[in-house]
Chains A and B, each alone.
Chain A
């Protein structure tokens, strides 16, 4: 039963974050690129303020999978690196914290683009 609630929480929080994105698409003129930028920067800010990690602890994948979660890993990496290496960490921490997601997206995106054929133009 506890396990069931864990998934419900992940579904509700993840769904709610995505619904906010859809509201922005429908009621503002924000393009998808701007929405992605907004969510990542928002994640950095919320992570820096220390309010995003509690949400990840509560909702798990519901908070870590949206791009706000990826942004919060930038903030977390920066905080850890500054504590360890001082001002140099301000530069190295963000990419270190978010490296796995970026490198995976670049590498798998590259592989996929090499292997598959572009879709034929429709319409």
Chain B
């Protein structure tokens, strides 16, 4: 019964909402996300031109973007960009930094330990949990393959 109502409701929503939403969202995500990655690439090239070896220049560029994202989240600019960029601001590593900074700032009023300190991992926590777990599974598989 409930699934039927859900389905018909979804159809109503589909009919009522303007069809151009995705037609605008997807190109915007492409442009904004592409721009952030291009900035990242420029940073990689910049660090390498300063004599930083390639394997350090890549994480250094990521760290720089993380810093900028934390700064612009604090200044309430990143959230405004996210309204335009959608997934273009979510999927790059700046989105991860924003997912840490935004709840940390918002829940500061609940205290520095259980507010800022704990709520900072509201979204980043699951990302780290599943990323690291997947890495350990891969490592164990890799080790077993090396044995035989």
A interface with B by C-beta (< 8 Å) = 3, 6-7, 10-27, 32-33, 35-37, 39-41, 43-45, 48, 56, 60-62, 64-71, 73-75, 77-79, 81-82, 86-87, 89-91, 93-95, 97-98, 100-102, 104-106, 108-116, 118-119
Contacts and interface: CB of A to CB of B under 8 A. Distances in A.
A68 B91 CA distance: 8
Interface of B: 21-22, 25-45, 58-59, 61-63, 65-67, 69-71, 73-76, 79, 86-88, 90-97, 99-101, 104-106, 108-109, 116, 120, 122-124, 126-128, 130-132, 134-136, 138-140, 142-143, 146
Contact of B70 (A32, A108, A119): A108
Contact of B75 (A7, A116, A118): A116
B130 to A, nearest CB: 5
Contact of B135 (A15, A17, A19, A93): A93
Contact of A112 (B38, B74, B91, B134): B74
B42 to A, nearest CB: 7
Mostly, the B contact residues are: helix
B131 A26 contact: no
Nearest to B140: A90
A17 B22 CA distance: 16
A78 B142 contact: yes
Contacts of A71: 131, 134
A60 B131 CA distance: 21
Contact of B44 (A25, A64, A105): A64
A22 B99 contact: no
A86 B65 CA distance: 33
Contact of B120 (A19, A68, A110): A110
Nearest to B132: A94
Given A67-B92, A90-B140, A108 B67 contact: yes
A109 to B, nearest CB: 4
30 contacts: A10-B40, A14-B36, A22-B28, A25-B25, A32-B99, A35-B90, A36-B90, A41-B131, A44-B135, A56-B58, A60-B45, A61-B44, A62-B37, A65-B41, A65-B62, A66-B93, A70-B131, A71-B134, A74-B132, A78-B138, A87-B139, A90-B138, A90-B139, A93-B139, A94-B135, A98-B132, A98-B135, A105-B93, A106-B124, A113-B108
